[in-house]
C-alpha cells in the first residue's frame, strides 16, 4: 500500500507534470493485488486511479509584489518542522474531506521566474471533495507551513510578509 500523503521539498527545479506522472504510478501500484491477471494488468491498474483528480501548479512570477523585474525568489524553510507541518496539514485535509490521496511538492532555496514553486494534487472518489480538499490544502500550506519568501530585484533582497489574496 502507498501512503495517502506524499510530501516532497525540493532544492532543484522540478517538472510538475512529471511529478504528477510519478504520483499516479505510485497510486496505481497500491492497487495491484497478488491475484492480478497478467493479461488484464494494465486495465486493472487504470481502473485503480480514483475517479476525480484535482491539481494546482504555482509558478514564480516575473515581477515582485511592487512590480519590479524579479531576478529570483529565495525560499527559506524550517527543516524538519516544515515537512512535519505539511504532513499534518495534508492528513487533516484528507480526513476532513474523505479523500484518497494527496501530493504536495514544494521548492526551497533559489527559484527563477517561471519555475514551479508548488504543486498540490488530490485524488478522490468525487469531484467536489477533490477540488475542495485541493483548495484547502493550498491555502493551509500558504499560511500554516513555515516558508518564507525573499524577492531579489536589482541585487536587493526583500522579505515577503504574507500571501496574495485568494
Interaction site with its own copies (CB under 8 A):
17, 20-21, 24, 43, 45-62, 112-115, 126-128, 130-131, 134-135, 138, 164-166
Under rule CB under 8 A, residue 80 binds another protein: yes
Tally of CA atoms within 13 A in the half-sphere of 119 that contains its CB: 22
Query: Of the candidates 106, 150, 103, which has an alpha carbon nearest to the alpha carbon of residue 124?
Result: 103
CB 140 within 8 A of CB 37: no
Under rule CB under 8 A, residue 148 binds another protein: yes
Under rule CB under 8 A, residue 144 binds another protein: yes
Give min distance, CB of 138 to another protein, in A. 6
Q: Is 71 helix (H, G, I), strand (E, B) or coil?
A: coil
According to CB under 8 A, which one of 118, 121, 122, 130 is a site residue for another protein? Answer: 118
Which one of its own copies, another protein, none interacts with residue 25, CB within 5 to 8 A by kind?
A: none
Query: Of the candidates 52, 55, 23, 58, which has an alpha carbon nearest to the alpha carbon of residue 129?
Result: 52
Q: Which three cell numbers stand for residue 65?
A: 509584489
Cβ distance to its own copies smaller for residue 84 or 144: 144
Which one of its own copies, another protein, none interacts with residue 50, CB within 5 to 8 A by kind?
A: its own copies
Give min distance, CB of 34 to another protein, in A. 35
Give min distance, CB of 49 to another protein, in A. 17
- Please tell me the distance from the alpha carbon of residue 75 to that of residue 149, in angstroms, as a whole number: 5
Which burial class, exposed, middle or buried, applies to 12 when counting CB atoms under 10 A from its CB (0-12, 13-18, 19+)?
exposed
Residues near another protein, by CB under 8 A: 58, 75-78, 80-81, 84, 106, 117-118, 138, 141-150, 159-163
Amino acid at each position: 500500500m502507498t501512503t495517502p500523503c506524499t510530501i516532497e521539498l525540493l532544492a532543484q527545479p522540478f517538472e510538475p507534470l512529471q511529478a504528477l506522472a510519478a504520483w499516479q504510478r505510485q497510486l496505481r501500484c497500491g492497487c495491484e493485488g497478488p491475484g492480478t491477471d497478467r493479461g488484464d494488468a494494465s486495465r486493472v491498474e487504470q481502473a485503480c486511479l480514483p475517479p476525480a483528480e484535482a491539481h494546482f501548479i504555482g509558478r514564480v512570477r516575473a515581477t515582485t509584489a511592487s512590480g519590479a523585474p524579479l531576478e529570483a525568489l529565495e525560499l527559506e524553510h524550517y527543516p524538519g518542522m516544515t515537512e512535519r507541518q505539511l504532513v499534518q496539514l495534508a492528513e487533516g485535509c484528507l480526513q476532513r474531506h474523505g479523500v484518497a490521496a494527496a501530493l504536495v511538492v514544494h521548492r526551497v532555496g533559489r527559484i527563477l521566474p517561471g519555475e514551479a514553486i508548488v504543486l498540490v494534487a488530490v485524488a478522490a472518489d468525487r469531484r467536489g471533495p477533490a477540488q475542495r480538499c485541493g483548495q484547502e490544502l493550498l491555502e493551509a500550506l500558504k499560511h500554516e507551513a513555515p516558508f518564507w519568501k525573499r524577492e531579489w530585484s536589482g541585487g536587493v533582497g526583500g522579505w515577503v510578509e504574507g500571501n496574495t489574496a485568494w
